[in-house]
Amino acid sequence: ISQTLYMPYIEKVSLFKGCSSEFINQIVIRLHEEFFLPGEVIMEQGNVIDQLYFVCHGVLGKESNLRLKQVESDITFHIGKHEAELALRFNSAAYHGDLYQLKGLIRAGADLNKTDYDGRSPL
């Protein structure tokens, strides 16, 4: 259900261009909808958050272009880090013959051709 509802939106997010299908699938299955009334404050500058918000319909409040570029850069860094960790986990499971973890990663949509920091893939 999540893939049907949210995948078209997430695939269009420019930050996720070039990300593996496994990574995008992990985002999609963790999504949940929230509705906010016009003028409602979702987060304030300076607050630490541990969530991403995707605006599917409506308008997000005004923000400086410089700040938006910084947020985009931070998110891109964390995506790259997460992608590298996934590749490393997959390669490690293959190296150690951990079939249980390998099957779980494959069911989650892991890319068998994704390489780690050294260019190695699980295959």
Same domain, 59 and 74: no
- pLDDT at residue number 87: 79
Total residue length of the chain:
123
For 25-51, what is the mean pLDDT? 75
Mean pLDDT, range 70-98, rounded to an integer: 78
Q: Using alpha carbons only, what angle is made at residue 40 by residues 38 and 43, rounded to the nearest 5 degrees?
A: 135
Decide: helix, strand or coil at residue 28: helix
Cα–Cα distance measured from residue 9 to residue 62, given in angstroms and rounded to the nearest whole number: 22
Same domain, 53 and 71: no
The reply to whether 122 falls in a domain is: no
pLDDT at 96 over 80: yes
Domains: count for the chain:
2
| pTM score above 0.75 | no
Are residues 11 and 41 part of one domain? yes
Q: Indicate if the pLDDT at residue 66 is higher than 70.
A: no
Q: How far, in Å, are 2, 36, 59, 63, 122 from residue 80 at the CA level?
A: 23, 30, 28, 25, 18
Same domain? For 78 and 93 the reply is: yes
Q: What are phi and psi of 55, to 5 degrees?
A: -90, 110
Q: According to the model, what pLDDT value does residue 30 have?
A: 81
